[in-house]
Structure 1
């Protein structure tokens, strides 16, 4: 069975990556969204088990000790982690997976499962000023959390060269189309279909010779 592709979408908090993923997955088929664990508080409108698994720090550490995470990191003062079992099982079953992960977590995954050839996509806001405006506008962070996320964004953006693609999120619809284009293009790469490529070539010439 052909293995699935792991897409990792990352970027600074407030870049709009979650919105792009949700809209893109309404268009493309055959995808599973991996829900991460976090110790941060749930924001208005977020649903436990859909946006994140919201757990306290004790529960998070219990899962960590059981080696349940493919990666985990403390970001903006809170812990985030990705389920190891879920990722490996779904990829083996042929599902394509999209992860919404912070930059630190993305780089950890890139290092830990290089053999899966994950696709790393960085969502970048048009400017630092626009990023600050978006974070303030959504009104979901305390002043302390807001300052921490803006401070962390400088380091996060400095890691952009570690990624395969970058989307500058100026317009949501345009950025969604770019994300969909990346998703489709990766599925058509020769290295992704090489297991069946020889048969396709043989079949192509066989039909030609039978004419």
Structure 2
């Protein structure tokens, strides 16, 4: 089950609260952060926008006996790896910076300044790739999904073999 992240940024066109993200006010996010409702949270790209994974999302998957997939950046992954050492970590990336830049620009949702910040952050994040247990190149979505499914299946088998 893919967790739904919470964010303080405004919804983009077509995004639905509770499906794409939980869109929270700054005040509500901060209150929930202070109450320990997040397993990880951080401000992204020095934008003033906060993102986080709610504990309730992980509990929802656990209650169903399912994997909980967190789509988070390196900052969030560091928090998860520190607090949950048994968590499985997969670094999902493009094959090149040029490809990543092409993808960002094709969205048409980011200013040039934001694109440059994201590219800079991506270069910095690549320094952390060796701390992840696995790395998947996401140039072909179907192949990336198959590779992730194999990783999950192997982990599941190793858990049941104990």
The verdict on a shared fold, with TM-score over 0.5 as the criterion, is yes
Number of matched residues? 160
User: In the superposition, relative to structure 1, how do residues 92 and 113 fare at CA in structure 2: closer, same or farther (>3 Å)?
Assistant: farther
Residue 88 of structure 1 deviates from its aligned partner by 4.1
Residue 65 of structure 1 deviates from its aligned partner by 1.6
Residue 43 of structure 1 deviates from its aligned partner by 2.0
Equivalent position of 1:168 in the other structure: 137
Match of residue 66, structure 1, among 17, 35, 38: 35
Match of residue 110, structure 1, among 81, 84, 103: 81
Q: Distance in 2 between matches of 1:173 and 1:89?
A: 26
Q: Distance in 1 between matches of 2:25 and 2:113?
A: 20
Residue 86 of structure 1 deviates from its aligned partner by 3.5
What stretches of structure 2 of length at least 5 have no aligned partner?
none
Equivalent position of 2:160 in the other structure: 193
Q: Distance in 2 between matches of 1:47 and 1:86?
A: 17
Matched, 1:99 2:70: yes
Greater share of strand: 1
Equivalent position of 2:105 in the other structure: 136
1:29-44 to structure 2, matched below 5 A, reads 32-44=1-13
Residue 90 of structure 1 deviates from its aligned partner by 3.9
What stretches of structure 1 of length at least 5 have no aligned partner?
1-31, 198-211
Residue 70 of structure 1 deviates from its aligned partner by 1.0
Q: Say which SS state the counterpart of residue 33 (structure 1) adopts.
A: coil
Residue 102 of structure 1 deviates from its aligned partner by 1.4
Contact kept, 8 Å, 2:3 with 2:68, in 1: the verdict is: yes
- 1:75-122 CA deviation, whole Å, 9 max, x = no partner? 1122111112432464366332111111110111110122xx111111
Match of residue 179, structure 1, among 142, 148, 155: 148
Whichever of the two has the greater Rg, that structure is 1
Residue 68 of structure 1 deviates from its aligned partner by 0.9
RMSD: 1.7
Q: Distance in 2 between matches of 1:104 and 1:147?
A: 18
User: In the superposition, relative to structure 1, how do residues 147 and 56 fare at CA in structure 2: closer, same or farther (>3 Å)?
Assistant: farther
Q: Distance in 2 between matches of 1:95 and 1:107?
A: 22
Residue 143 of structure 1 deviates from its aligned partner by 2.2
Q: Distance in 2 between matches of 1:179 and 1:90?
A: 17
Match of residue 156, structure 1, among 116, 125, 149: 125
Q: Which has the higher contact order (CA 8 A, sep 6+)?
A: 1
Q: Distance in 2 between matches of 1:45 and 1:181?
A: 32
